Amino acid sequence: MSKLVEVAIVGASGYSGEELIRLVLRHPNARLTVITSRQYEGRKLLDVFPQFSAFPVASELVFVKPDVHLIARHAKFAFMALPHGVSASMVPDLLLHGVRIADLSADFRLRDADVYKEFYGADHPCPQLLSKAVYGLPEIYREEIKTAELIACPGCYPTSILLPLIPLLKEKKINPTKIIVNSMSGVTGAGRKVELQYLFSECNESLRAYGFPKHRHLSEIEQELSKAAEQRVIIEFIPHLVPVNRGILTTICTDITDTFENKQNCNPGEVAVKSWQAFYANEPFIRVYQGNYLPDTKNVVGTNVIEFGCRFDPRTNKLIIVSAIDNIVKGAAGQAIQCFNIVNNFDERCGLV
């Protein structure tokens, strides 16, 4: 019999929090004991999110105020789905109380407090924890996650960008100084923010770029790409908002290096696919497309899978990579569950298929 891990979800009223609730309720080895929300404090889970009524334990859950002692008393593991900055105010205390944490905010993703300050505009509230945190990208940091006390789950855009690029950078197959990324995100990516620009009639039948040239996610993207490339990487990143609920489609334009060109009669697209297949052999949540197939967010929405593929353009000598994820699952709550499974030595698919 598997052990049943007691779990808290802190900040459970946004889209990622809601998805965490769903995933923890479905998880065969987890028991949801605490859900916090300042906004919904005192209200029953099923009053706020009736969609969970078919889960046996859901009817007993009530939103409470976030409180370290209460969380520590009832949970061994906490998912933090709080806004950036707020998470860091609770994490140190929770760690002291022995609660292991998967933090979905950006607070502990960066290794360098100066970069944090540059991108988030404030001094980091607890820089001493930055070196302790593990970046929660399981396909890259699985070993470190196993023993981590504090897992900093990657952002949604970073997940869609890092997973296809890291193997190619590690193998020096693409030029790290020439990477251009265009991403499209569904509107849940903005969170449950009540702002004019996110009204249905303002988003539906609308396509727009936003947040560039210095989107906050660049900081963690470049940190991880630099590590893979073993040199400082700066990229161009242009996010767009498009009228779907969920999904990120990322299109990456790269210059191949002469590791490709040396080999005669080889198609760089096929070489990239072989690299990915080798690097990600047996990864349950990575789907690499061959041939003419290309990613489509509708294949990943509702799943923890990232899918990617590529095409080579012989006219420009560029390799174009396309990836797709569900921004709320592999880009947030699902990836956090995957980390939770690793920490607890469960099958990584547990609760995710």
Q: Which of residues 310-329 bind a second copy (CB under 8 A)?
A: 311-316, 318, 320, 322, 324
Is position 180 an interface residue for a second copy (rule: CB under 8 A)?
A: yes
Record the tokens describing residue 63, joined without a space: 């939103």
Give min distance, CB of 35 to a second copy, in A.
Answer: 17
- Dist CA 184 CA 206 (whole Å): 12
CA atoms within 13 A on the CB side of 67: 9
- Dist CA 84 CA 152 (whole Å): 12
Q: What is the dihedral of CA 94, 99, 103, 106, to 10 degrees?
A: 40
Give min distance, CB of 1 to a second copy, in A.
Answer: 12
Could you say which residues in the range 4-43 bind a second copy, by CB under 8 A?
Answer: 15, 25-26
Is position 119 an interface residue for a second copy (rule: CB under 8 A)?
A: no
Could you say which residues in the range 226-255 bind a second copy, by CB under 8 A?
Answer: 234-236, 238, 240, 242-249, 251, 253
Is position 294 an interface residue for a second copy (rule: CB under 8 A)?
A: yes
Stretch that binds a second copy, among 52-60, 126-134, 144-152, 163-171 (CB under 8 A): 52-60
Among 276, 289, 340, 346, binds a second copy (CB under 8 A): 289
- By CB under 8 A, the count of residues binding a second copy is 82
Is position 213 an interface residue for a second copy (rule: CB under 8 A)?
A: yes
Closer by beta carbon to a second copy, 37 or else 188: 188
Closer by beta carbon to a second copy, 94 or else 184: 184
Stretch that binds a second copy, among 66-74, 167-175, 200-208, 223-231 (CB under 8 A): 200-208
Is position 266 an interface residue for a second copy (rule: CB under 8 A)?
A: no
Give min distance, CB of 212 to a second copy, in A.
Answer: 6
Helix or strand (DSSP H, E) at 329: none
Just list the catalytic residues.
156
Stretch that binds a second copy, among 2-10, 166-174, 187-195, 273-281 (CB under 8 A): 187-195
Record the tokens describing residue 213, joined without a space: 């040239």
Give min distance, CB of 42 to a second copy, in A.
Answer: 17
- Dist CA 24 CA 30 (whole Å): 6
Phi, psi of 97 (to 5 degrees): -85, 5
Record the tokens describing residue 66, joined without a space: 């976030």
Tell me 330's DSSP state: I
Among 38, 65, 192, 232, binds a second copy (CB under 8 A): 192
Closer by beta carbon to a second copy, 125 or else 302: 302
Q: Are 59 and 53 in contact (CB under 8 A)?
A: yes
Among 209, 267, 270, 278, binds a second copy (CB under 8 A): 209
Give min distance, CB of 149 to a second copy, in A.
Answer: 28
Please enumerate in sequence order all residues whose Cβ is within 8 A of that of 46, keeping only pairs 6 or more positions apart, or say none: 52, 53, 58, 59, 61
Nearest CA-CA partner of 287 in 271, 273, 298: 273
- Dist CA 332 CA 105 (whole Å): 9
Helix or strand (DSSP H, E) at 252: strand 248-255
